Amino acid sequence: MRFIVISIKKYFFTVLFLLFTLTLILFSSTNLSAAQNGLKLWANSVLPTLFPFFIATELLCRTNFVQILGKFLNKFMKPVFNVPGESAIAIIMGIISGYPVGAKVVCNLYDNKICSKSEAERLLAFTNNSGPIFILGSVGVSLLGNVQVGKILLISHILSSLIVGFIFRFWKRNQVDLTFRNYKSESKELIRISNLGEILGDAIKKSISTILLIGGFVVLFSVIISILSSLEILTNLAYFLAKFGIPYELSLSILTGIIELTNGIQVASTTYLAFPLPCLLTCSFLLGFGGFSVLLQVFSIIAKSKLSIKSYFYGKTLQGILAMFLTLILI
C-alpha cells in the first residue's frame, strides 16, 4: 500500500499532463474553438477592464496615498480586520475592480513592505472579489435580465467578503513576523518627477506580465472545460447528482462554475425561469468562491511573494457559503 501511494505521488503529474496532451490531440477541433473563444473573452473583456486597474494600483502603491489612507482608517482596520489601515486600498480595489485585482494589490502591499506576511494572508482571504460591473451588468442584466437580482447578488457578495475578513482577523494572530519591524525603513522609493518615467515603465511591465498570465489561464481553462465536455465527465457527474434531487442544469452549472466562474454562471442562468431561487443561490455561491481558474491565477500572482494560498481557499469557500445565506435572507 505504501509503495502504491509513493508511486501515485511520484507519477501523478506525469500521467495527468500526458493525458492532457493526448486529449488535446484527440479533441483538437473543439479545443481549437474553445481556445479561440477564451482568447476573445480575454481580449474583449478581461484586458480592457483589468489592465488599467493593474497599472493604477502599481502606481498608487508608489505614492503617499496608501500612507494617508492608513492614517485615516487605521483605527477602524486594525480592530475589525487586524490589518494596518494602509491595506484598505486592497479592500476598495478588490470590490470595485474584480478578480484578481485584489490579490495583486495585496502582493503590492507586501512587496512594498506595507504589511507583514500574516497580514497579507488575512487580506487574501477576503479582498479578491467579483466586480460590480460583472455582477450588475453581465450577471444581473445580460444573463438574468433583472437589475434587482443583480443588486441583491452584489450586496450579498460584498457583505459576505467583509464578514470573512472579520472572521479571518484571527488567522495566525499570534504569529509575529520578526522582519516586519524594518519594513517601513526598507520601503520602495516614492514617485517623483525625476523617477516618474522609470516607475511608470516598471508598472506597465509588471501589469503586462500579470494580464498575459491571466489570459493564459482563461484560454487554458476554456480548453479544459471543452475537454471535460467532450469526455462527458461533467454531464455524467451532473446526472449522478440529479439522482439526489438536484436539477441537472444546476448540477452542471455548479460543477462548471467550480472549475471556471463565467461558464458556470452562464449555465446557471439558463435555469432562472424554471428554478429562480436555486439559480440565484448557485450564482451567489459561485461569485463568492470564484472557481479554481481564479484560484490558480491568485496562486501564480502570490508565488513570488511566497504567501500561502490556504487562507485564500478557506476564505473564498466560506464567502461562497455565506453569500448564499445572505442572498436567501435578502430575497
Q: Cell 489612507 sits at which residue?
A: 69
Helix axes 196-230, 28-41, angle to 10 degrees: 150
Q: What residues does each domain of the chain span?
A: 27-172+180-330
Tell me what pLDDT residue 58 has: 77
Q: Is the peptide bond before 48 cis (omega within 30 degrees of 0)?
A: no
Q: Using 50, 70 and 90 to split pLDDT, how confident is the model at 176? A: low
Residue indicated by cell numbers 450564482: 283
CA–CA separation, 246 and 315 (whole Å): 26
pLDDT of residue 84: 87
Task: Convert the pLDDT of each residue in 179-224 to its tens digit.
Answer: 554 445 445 566 677 677 888 888 898 888 888 888 888 888 889 8
Where does the pLDDT of residue 125 fall: very low under 50, low under 70, confident under 90, or very high at 90 and above? very high
Which pLDDT band holds residue 6 (cuts at 50, 70, 90)?
low
Question: Are the CB atoms for 156 and 282 separated by under 8 Å?
Answer: no
Residue 237: is it exposed, middle or buried by C-beta count within 10 angstroms (0-12/13-18/19+)? middle
Q: What is the pTM of this model?
A: 0.84
The pLDDT assigned to 178 comes to 52
Q: How far apart are CA 308 and CA 262, in angstroms?
A: 25
Average pLDDT over residues 15-33: 87
**Residue 295 confidence (pLDDT):** 92
Taking residues 21-40, report their average pLDDT: 87
User: Which residues, 6+ apart, have CB-to-CB distance to 62 below 8 Å?
Assistant: 112, 188, 189, 190, 191, 199, 203
Average the pLDDT over each of 41-50, 103-112, 259-268 and give the range with the smallest value: 41-50
Over the chain, what is the mean pLDDT?
84
In this structure, are residues 138 and 147 in contact, taking their beta carbons and an 8 Å threshold? no
| pLDDT for 189 | 61
What's the pLDDT at 287?
A: 94
